[in-house]
Structure 1
Amino acid sequence: MADPVVLIAHLGGAAGVWRPVLDELPPSLTTFTYDRPGLGGAPPRPAPNPPMSYNAFAGELAAQLPAGRVVLVGHSFGALIARAFAGRYPERVAGFVSVDGSIPQMKLQLDGEPVVDGGTELDLITGHVEILTAPIPDVPAVVLVRRRDWWSTGKPPHPAIDDLWQAHQRILAQQWRAPLIVAERSGHHIPTDQPALVAYAIELVASGRQEPDEARLAKLGGAVAQR
């Protein structure tokens, strides 16, 4: 039996955002989605609610999971929680799928306000150090990245940010010894725009494989990036 699949949503995202992907997965896979405190049906964290690093978010997730190994699937900010989890609990990781994962220290809002998830501020500096120093387990992995020049609404990001984002995905794929797959019909929200492609990446990793079938990828709107 395949290891359970844990799906971790983007910044401010509740568990329900994974429904399109869940609908594409085979029923033989056991899946786990959850609401972080202050999101969906989960109550907020009690006061004083200090800023949290990625390791702290990973610790919260670990406390909700049964013993044993899991396949981690994280979108955007959720991919950073998955990477922190893998660093803290490498023996519990059976596989890793990054879905357009965020850059650890990148401020995701440009209005001067702190970055907040479910009412809790992110400690970006501490979290960045945690990700930089986290060990990477030797497990099957896939890295998905959005199409270049697309963001979440079809509006292109600043070219320099786009270049940095794409470079980060290439480096991440190299670190995890994973194929880098481009979602050619999607902006940042790949789980919504191309859920079948995300489901295929999960199936690959959950089965213990990671090299995709390029013909099937093409039908799903994906392609292996040239390194």
Structure 2
Amino acid sequence: MSSTFKAVLLAVMTMAATVAHAGEAQVQLQGYVLQAEQTGNGPMDIVFESGFGQGAGVWKAVIADLGEQCHCIAYARAGLGKSGTDGKPKTIQAHVDDLGAVIDSLAPGRKVVLVGHSYGGLLATEFARQHPERIAGLVLVDPATMSQRHAYIAADRDRVLADDKALMGMLPAAMGADYQMLIKQLDSPDAASTRAMPDVPVALLTSTQVAADPMVFEETAHGKAIWKAQHGVLFASFSRGTHRYLATGHNIHREDPKAVVDAIRAVAPSSRPAN
């Protein structure tokens, strides 16, 4: 995936450290239960989709800044944190379906502002494509794209495959199985096909920082140039919104949570002028 080794290491170290919070909720699926956290009682529903291997806690600073004016929903995908799993590797579509179940259960019948980081940004984009009627606004925080692996492999196949091998050596077995399923899908010819995007307001945030000591290809100058180009193509596929470039690393929501909060407020219906 496009999240850095550092982000994955952080996720692995904190997977077992999830603690109980007020407003916890469970979403029952066939064969397992997803654990979610709800904060605030405001009229706008904000749903957060985390990066690969990361749980709900990564959005803590963003949610705290939003305050009680929103109803914030963050959750851990199957097999992460306190969420259960059926033990099967999850496809992109399976994760999109689980996201839909979270929204249907905790924001029934209402449109939501959907916020996604990295792999979670890819899931948010795919959910918005399939269910535009449920989207009030879309915030993509340094999102992965369906076509990015094709672009990276075309640029430096050997480096990408070496990065995959190194990452697989770091991941727990279940997460490694999910990662293998993911790259199989992103390597497919269909992943490179053009996808029509819905007519929803979008705020796209792109990190521009090149690592001094890159751990993966994405952190190199060449990799970052491809990353920015991928985001340019993604943003051009939407009809309205904003695209900001930020001098941060991949985890924008941790390094500059205010930028994410500003993006959420920009697409939230209450902050947009009436037509």
Asked if these proteins are the same fold (TM beyond 0.5), I'd say yes
| Residue of structure 1 equivalent to 2:182 | 123
Whose helix proportion is higher, 1 or 2? 2
| Residue of structure 1 equivalent to 2:201 | 140
CA contact (8 A) 2:201 2:241 kept: yes
Q: How does 1:73-222 map to 2 (within 5 A)?
A: 73-106=115-148, 110-112=163-165, 117=175, 120-121=178-179, 122-126=181-185, 129=190, 132=193, 134-150=195-211, 157-176=219-238, 177-184=240-247, 186-207=248-269
Q: Which runs of 5+ in 2 are unaligned?
A: 1-41, 150-159
Cα 1:183–1:94, aligned 2, differ >3 Å: closer, same or farther?
same
| Residue of structure 1 equivalent to 2:152 | none
The normalised TM-score by structure 1 is: 0.78
CA contact (8 A) 2:116 2:139 kept: yes
Task: Report the RMSD for the aligned CA atoms in angstroms.
Answer: 3.1
Residues 88-130 of structure 1 show CA distances to partners (whole Å, capped at 9, x for unaligned) of 2121111101100113254588142669748634334545736
Using the alignment, how far apart are the partners of 1:38 and 1:93 within structure 2?
A: 26
Residues 185-220 of structure 1 show CA distances to partners (whole Å, capped at 9, x for unaligned) of x21111110011111110111136679xxxxxxxxx
CA contact (8 A) 1:7 1:32 kept: yes
- Does the residue aligned with 2:65 lie in a helix, a strand or coil? coil
Using the alignment, how far apart are the partners of 2:136 and 2:144 within structure 1?
A: 21
Using the alignment, how far apart are the partners of 2:124 and 2:53 within structure 1?
A: 16
Q: 1:58 aligns with which of 96, 105, 116?
A: 96
Using the alignment, how far apart are the partners of 1:119 and 1:54 within structure 2?
A: 13
Q: Once the 2 structures are TM-superposed, how far is the Cα of residue 57 of structure 1 from its aligned partner?
A: 0.7
| Residue of structure 2 equivalent to 1:29 | 70
| Residue of structure 2 equivalent to 1:222 | none
Count, aligned residues: 207
Q: Once the 2 structures are TM-superposed, how far is the Cα of residue 154 of structure 1 from its aligned partner?
A: 10
Which segment drifts farther, 122-131 or 196-205? 122-131
Cα 1:154–1:200, aligned 2, differ >3 Å: closer, same or farther?
farther
Opposite residue 190 of structure 1, the aligned amino acid is I
Which segment drifts farther, 21-30 or 154-163? 154-163
Cα 1:161–1:146, aligned 2, differ >3 Å: closer, same or farther?
same
Opposite residue 163 of structure 2, the aligned amino acid is L
| Residue of structure 1 equivalent to 2:49 | 8
The normalised TM-score by structure 2 is: 0.65
Opposite residue 201 of structure 1, the aligned amino acid is A
Q: Which runs of 5+ in 1 are unaligned?
A: 212-227
